[in-house]
Amino acid sequence: MNKTALIISREYLTRVKKKSFIILTLLVPLLFAALMAVPVLVATQTQEHANIMVVDDNEVFINNFKENDKLSFSYQSGNIEEIKKDALDGDYDAVLYLPKSTQKMVANLYYTEEPSMYLRSDLESQIDNIFFDKVLQDSFNINVNQYNTLKKLTQSEITMIQIDEKGEEKESMAELNKSIGMICGFFIYFFIFLFAGQVLRGVLEEKNNRIVEVLISSVKPIELLIGKIVGIALVGLTQFLMWIVLTVVILTGIQIATPNLIDKQAQIENAIEMSGDVQLSDLEETFDAESIFNEISNYFPISFTELILCFLFYFLTGYLIYSALFAAVGSASDNETDSNQLTMPLTMPLLLTIILIMPIADNPNGQLAFWMSIIPLTSPVAMLTRLPSGVPLWELLLSMVMMLLFFVFAVWFAAKVYRTGILMYGKKVTWKEIWRWLKY
């Protein structure tokens, strides 16, 4: 046992002291924080004010464009060639020309410096709304205000209400659950192969450098195998927990440094403009960060604590299973090319789950999702994808028991192969020969 502890300590300290570990540990939280914060910064800070000159041959859009803090409009009639030259040489950022049309409206936007996508989408949306109202009035003699009122009165809305095993009802956000499930599935896929791959490379490196011959003279092969697997598992847990802590710290720092990162008042004004007769007090409550988290927790079928604990369980058991199998493959190989050929059948189930992650997320209680969350080689990704949508307790427990039982089998299999293959050189091993080793 002391020898196994020494191997675990060696594997752990050797990796956490590497520059690559430190750099990756610090870099990944920055990337996570950037993925969350940069789109907000780009969306809110880079949209500069644009002054648009509108030339309308239809006389439909004159004084009908709505201005906001990002857009202002001026109107002029006449020759477009002369107007656009004078306007672009002057104080205008772009010239919007709407030629005569009675059906589909095709407009031209002239500019010297390329505008943002926000400008184009805003102009297209306003043109569509103005032109639609005009056609509605002229061609069908329908009052626009009456049409808008009727449209609001006849809108339907389906509220998703889930009834749990106790008969309690709870509103559900299916799209949110699906998105979080897919994110968890992709993350656990990445983490399992990242750290299980380290076990494979470590075994190959020790075998090729003949270091393993010295180690085997002092410890049993099973002790060496368990020490390597557990040591790298602790590295993975350390890095994973540090990523969580550092990501939270960075995002908190961004929030403190830029409290006005998102212009709340502008969001409220835009929402009022889009929604019509929505009350300001309702929108202020909607944009309150605390109420958003409360609403998410109310709709979410599983608590974040349960989700994190399940993530850690499936990460550890998934890693332990794949690292044991990868260690066995590494011991039976002389080089990375041979090991890649042998690991292909092992990686296909988890890769297949990633390919099928959309159908699993779309129908989390279907037969495909159920069986893929029970089979140990596909369970980590499939079950994490299903969890946010709610999984019966017996299915979750069955999946966990299957993972633990298969882990015991994977360690037995790896120990059998490792014992024979770690000292075998110069021979290309096949799966048929590995099967014979199990009988020794």
| pLDDT score recorded for residue 117 | 72
Spatial CA neighbour of 51 closest among 36, 37, 65 = 65
Distance in angstroms (rounded) separating the CA atoms of residues 273 and 213: 74
CATH fold of 48-147 reads D-Maltodextrin-Binding Protein; domain 2 (3.40.190)
CA angle 28/30/31 to nearest 5° reads 65
Question: Where do the structural domains in the chain lie, given as residue ranges?
Answer: 3-38+173-437, 48-147
Spatial CA neighbour of 178 closest among 38, 300, 279 = 300
Mean of pLDDT values over 158-184: 71
Q: How confident is the model at residue 352 (pLDDT cuts 50, 70, 90)?
A: very high
The fraction of the chain above a pLDDT of 90, given in percent, is 16
| pLDDT score recorded for residue 277 | 46
Summarised one tens digit per residue, pLDDT across range 237-253 is: 888 788 778 877 776 77
Summarised one tens digit per residue, pLDDT across range 114-154 is: 877 778 888 888 888 888 888 888 778 888 888 888 877 78
Residue 285 has pLDDT above 60, yes or no: no
- Sequence-distant (≥ 6) Cβ neighbours of residue 31 within 8 angstroms: none
Residue 173 has pLDDT above 70, yes or no: no
Summarised one tens digit per residue, pLDDT across range 61-98 is: 888 898 887 889 999 988 888 898 888 888 899 999 99
Spatial CA neighbour of 383 closest among 320, 293, 309, 326 = 309
| pLDDT score recorded for residue 65 | 92
pTM, 2 dp: 0.64
Mean of pLDDT values over 278-283: 45
Burial class (CB in 10 A: 0-12, 13-18, 19+), 261: middle
Summarised one tens digit per residue, pLDDT across range 7-48 is: 888 878 888 888 878 887 888 777 766 665 665 555 555 557
Spatial CA neighbour of 209 closest among 425, 6, 64, 62 = 425
Residue listed under structure tokens 């808008």: 148
Instruction: Give the range among 119-123, 311-315, 316-320 with minimum mean pLDDT.
Output: 119-123
Burial class (CB in 10 A: 0-12, 13-18, 19+), 82: exposed
